[in-house]
């Protein structure tokens, strides 16, 4: 009997990625056909399209250690993991006019969304700003 693999989850100790540096782009699902003349021709290579997302997190020294250990435990980025979608998860649900929806107790109702990810093709880049560490990295969000 094959062992089940548990997919790790993005550590809750790490902050939400910042809006600065956020970029999202779908991988190109097209396969180019060479044409001798005229415009290029394309056909679908695959129907499910992954997306590459560029992210930046600002970390304390402790959070930097958590990030580095998580990345190392994922085979230096070679294994998949679950990550809260930073554009959706934890944000309040809104009405059409932008008013937050509330529970009966008056607490805002929050959205929840997770990504199944792999770290991108290059390793995370670290810079230092004062006493904080800034990690820039990409993830591939699976369809």
Question: What's residue 22's pLDDT?
Answer: 82
Q: Tokens 């910042």 — which residue?
A: 18
Which range of residues forms the domain containing residue 50? 11-31+42-86+110-143
CB atoms within 10 A of CB 120: 16
Residue 92 located in a structural domain: no
Please state whether the predicted TM-score (pTM) of the whole model is above 0.85: no
Is residue 128 situated within a structural domain? yes
Closest Cα to residue 84, out of 143, 22, 15? 15
Residue 82 is assigned to a structural domain of this protein: yes
| 37, part of any domain | no
The confidence score (pLDDT) of residue 39 equals: 67
The answer to whether 135 and 56 are in contact (CB under 8 A) is yes
Number of folded domains in the chain?
1
Q: Indicate whether 93 belongs to any domain.
A: no
pLDDT tens digits along 39-79: 666 556 666 788 899 999 999 999 999 999 999 999 999 99
Residue 79 lies in a domain: yes
- Whether 102 is in a domain gets the answer no
135 burial class (0-12, 13-18, 19+ CB within 10 angstroms)? buried
Which pLDDT does position 34 carry in this prediction?
63
């Amino acid at each position: 009997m094959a062992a089940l693999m548990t997919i790790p989850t993005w550590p809750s100790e790490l902050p939400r990625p910042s809006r600065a540096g956020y970029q999202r782009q779908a991988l190109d699902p097209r396969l180019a056909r060479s044409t001798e003349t005229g415009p290029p021709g394309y056909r679908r290579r695959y129907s499910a399209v992954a997306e590459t997302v560029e992210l930046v997190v600002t970390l304390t020294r402790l959070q930097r250690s958590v990030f580095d250990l998580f990345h190392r435990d994922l085979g230096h980025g070679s294994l998949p993991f679950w990550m809260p979608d930073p554009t959706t998860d934890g944000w309040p649900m809104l009405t059409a006019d932008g008013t937050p929806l509330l529970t009966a107790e008056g607490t805002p109702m929050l959205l929840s969304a997770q990504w199944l990810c792999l770290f991108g093709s290059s390793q995370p880049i670290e810079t230092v700003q004062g006493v904080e560490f800034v990690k820039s990295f990409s993830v591939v969000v699976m369809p």
